[in-house]
Amino acid sequence: MEPVTTHTLIDTLLAQIETLISVAGLQSTRGAEDPSWIEHYFQNSLLEKIVRLSGKAGRQQEVALAEAKFRCALSDANFSAANIDVPTYESQLTRAYEGFNDFNQVPQALCDKADAEIVFNANMQRVSTQTTGTPSENSVSLNVIRWKHLTKALENLTAAGKLQDAKNLPRIHLRRGDCELLRRRLGQAPTSYDIALKSASTLLKNAQIYYRGAARLAKAEGATDEEVEGLTKEAVVAAFLGDQSKFRERILLAKSRVQEVVEDMTEDGLVLENDMRLLGL
């Protein structure tokens, strides 16, 4: 039996925090459940202990990353449960990383914050329309908010990709392309946000560049899944820009994998039903 050390204790506590993050994510998708017990458990059973141990082991940054990620997930769940309003939700996401030392120099922190901004956008998407699918009265202001957060996500990913110690560069570039497609979606009905509508072509061209770069980097690293995802997404964007030849070529090479990627794009809100018809799917 291995001896219990400070590091193994920290690893165990980090695993528990990851579990709480997953549970908060599940409750966020369900919407109705009150996540207060998750916060109570974190505050009373984990936080003080792991902060104290991390100081002894020199793992403060790793623990700070986990805490910030948890607080964002908890905010998602609280918003979905109608425990907080949009301004409070925004404020909590901002505060989650305020105390993080050297935030702009830590790739994982930048990427995690970008992911939080993207989830925030998805939650705003759910509240921006009535059950009828028509824009609600506050949808115009929500469009501005969503554009701001997606732009911030893109900026964080761009900054992360420029740092020498950034890991998984293909995934970072894939996420940059995703941000551009999400911004483009704001210009589509029923949202029809003016800035996104006018910038649609530029946003698509940007996404194409990011996806192409991701595929190139993935090929060099031998990351097959990311390479296929990048090539497929680039081909999808090329079809939106009027050139369907790349997409037809991808279908011939790996139809089932292409369909999987496109289905994921639909689930992630990157493409709509009208886009799918354009692709012939």
Per residue in 92-105, pLDDT (tens digit) is 999 999 878 889 99
DSSP secondary structure letters along 15-75: HHHHHHHHHHHHHHHH-SS-THHHHHHIIIIIIHHHHHHHHHHT-HHHHHHHHHHHHHHHH
pLDDT at 211 over 80: yes
SS3 category, 128: coil
- Cα–Cα distance, 29 to 63 (Å, whole number): 26
Mean pLDDT value across residues 135-162: 89
96 dihedral zone (left: phi>0; alpha: psi -120 to 50; beta): alpha
Spatial CA neighbour of 117 closest among 169, 82, 160, 83: 160
Residue 116 to residues 68, 73, 181: CA-CA distances in angstroms? Answer: 10, 8, 17
Per-residue confidence (pLDDT) for residue 131, from 0 to 100: 42
Mean pLDDT value across residues 172-186: 97
Position 138 confidence tier, pLDDT thresholds 50, 70, 90: low
Share the mean pLDDT of the chain.
Answer: 91
Per-residue confidence (pLDDT) for residue 18, from 0 to 100: 96
> Any bridge partners for residue 129, and if so which?
135
- Cα–Cα distance, 207 to 175 (Å, whole number): 9
Per-residue confidence (pLDDT) for residue 129, from 0 to 100: 62
- pTM value is 0.92
- Cα–Cα distance, 248 to 212 (Å, whole number): 17
